[in-house]
Structure 1
Amino acid sequence: MKIKLALFTCLIFLGLNLSAQESKFIEVTGSAEMLIEPDEFIFIIGIEEYWKEEFEKNKDFEDYKNKVKISEIEGQLIKTLNDLGIKTEDIKSTEVGNYWRYRGKELLISKKLEISLTDFKHINKIISKLDRKGIDYMQIGELKNKELVKYRKEVKVQALLAAKEKAKYLLEAIDKELGDIISITELNSDNYFWRPTLSTSNVMLNSSENPEAENDKKIKLRFEINAKFGIK
């Protein structure tokens, strides 16, 4: 009975000792971000049918009779883009739809064109040449970069190093030393790509007038890494 009791007491002490050792760790979160120049981006132009009488003075919707069809608007837009050096294969039509504009009138068709570009300077050229009739909206869509995978790795590494540095200086404040890494967890592995939506008014501003608008033309990568380190 004494042997069993002594063995039981020893096991309890050993368990407490192991638990104390396992609890000697520090857990921190490090973050890092990077702004990347895109080497390709999508410029979106929304077009829609309209009535010629809309742009005539002293006309009410009851007078609207001559509709400009979506095919005519799209054809003129593509011609303008071609004249600016943009190839037809870099222009994609998507999301065809229709809607009511005026009571008692036929449905008007709308469409979205996605233009693949490599230089933001093209946007101002496009805006300056477009006939605004039939243009519903213009905005920047997806930003791309061929080296995105490489940049993602770099930002993740920087986030981990930031976590290590944080753990180190926190432990130094209480006269402790950083031990080996125990675990690494990505906190936002599925949220790495930022797609801005900019109005044309922001697009046309240069960096000297609006630095924030200039940054909005870049891909923003941001990662957070949770790391657990032992304590010596």
Structure 2
Amino acid sequence: MKKTILLAALMFGAVVFPSLAQMNSSQQNPVRKIEVAGFAEMEVVPDEIYFSISLREYYEDEKSQKNKVIISTLEKQLIKAVTDAGFPKEALSVSSLGGYQNYADKKKKPTTFLESKEYELKVDRSDKLDGVLSKIDSRGIQYANVARVDHSKKEEFKKQVKIDALKAAKEKANYLLGALDQKLGQVLEVRELDENVYYPQPMFAKSNMRTMAMAEADAAPDSDIAYQKIKISYRMQAAFEIK
């Protein structure tokens, strides 16, 4: 029994003691390092703008509910306005269908059902949108708004911003060590601290305000105001050895 205990103790010692020796060696010769964070930001003008347009049937004689302008007529106007503005027909798609009951008298049952359709128009520039809306009967536009924006090369821009943030971290480590007469060694660790991609908030324009103003002119001029930019920013942390 004593021999078994002694043998176990010797085996345990063979495992533990080298490990402790290794730890002591590591503590006596710690790696000298510097950890810094770098930041980079980029602003890009969107080249993918998704514009929502909702069309709704209406009566030319609302009081008598006569001469209904159907949704297909309004749709033809929209398609023609899109192609006349230089956009391909494929850029326009139907996103939803709906409708509502039209009441001639609140005390009576609804007399007709008026259909509505929502479309999504994908464009690469926003300066032609005013011209598109101006060619559609204003009474048939329920609402119009920029739903979202994006950029076709967004992933490439993200990579570049990360690289720029790492370069900023290295530059910071260099001048900090230079102030102490030390030199930068090899990189030990790289970490992504945070990502921030800011998209401009969607813009909404009620038809009874926007299209009434357009109806006053034969043709609405194209806007020369650039759309708000997408902001991409990264913060990267890097650890370097001090030589």
Q: State the TM-score bracket (shorter-chain normalisation).
A: 0.5 to 0.7
Distance change in 2, residues 1:97/1:172 (3 Å): farther
Task: Give the Cα–Cα distance (whole angstroms) in 2 for the partners of residues 29 and 110 of structure 1.
Answer: 53
Question: What RMSD, in angstroms, separates the aligned Cα atoms of the two structures?
Answer: 4.0
Change (3 A) 1:168 1:112: farther
AA matched with 2:157: Y
2:203 — aligned with what? 198
State the match for 1:211 in structure 2: none
User: What amino acid sits opposite 1:222 in the alignment?
Assistant: S
Question: What is the distance in 2 between the residues matched to 1:53 and 1:168?
Answer: 76
- Of 130, 134, 138, the residue aligned with 1:124 is 130
Offset, 1:33: 1.9
- Mapped contact 2:198–2:231 kept (Cα < 8 A): yes
Structure 2 residue 234 is the aligned partner of structure 1 residue 229: no
Partner of 1:80: 81
Q: CA deviation at 1:11?
A: 6.8
- Please, which runs of 5 or more residues in structure 1 have no aligned partner? 208-213
Residue matched to 1:92: 93
Which of the pair is proportionally richer in strand? Answer: 2
Deviations 1:71-121 (A, max 9, x none): 333232223323333332221111224467877546654432222323332
Query: Superposition pairs for residues 44-193 of structure 1, below 5 Å?
Result: 44-50=52-58, 52=60, 68-98=69-99, 105=110, 108-135=114-141, 136-139=143-146, 141-145=148-152, 147-173=153-179, 176-188=182-194, 192=197
Q: Which string of whole-angstrom CA distances, capped at 9 and with x for unpartnered residues, describes residues 114-134 of structure 1?
A: 223233321232233333223
TM-score by length of 1: 0.66
Measured in 1, the distance between the counterparts of 2:68 and 2:117 equals 16
| Alignment check: 8 A CA contact 2:46 2:151 kept | yes
Q: More displaced, 21-30 or 71-80?
A: 21-30
2:39 pairs with 31, 37, 46, which one? 31
Q: Percent identity?
A: 34
Give TM-score, length-normalised by structure 2: 0.63
**Deviations for 1:157-206, whole angstroms, at most 9, x for unmatched residues?**
111101212233344455544332112223456x65746523468xx864
177-186 or 41-50, which moves further after superposition? 41-50
- C-alpha change, 1:94 and 1:16, in structure 2 (3 Å) is same
Point out where structure 2 has 5 or more consecutive residues left out of the alignment: 1-12, 211-221
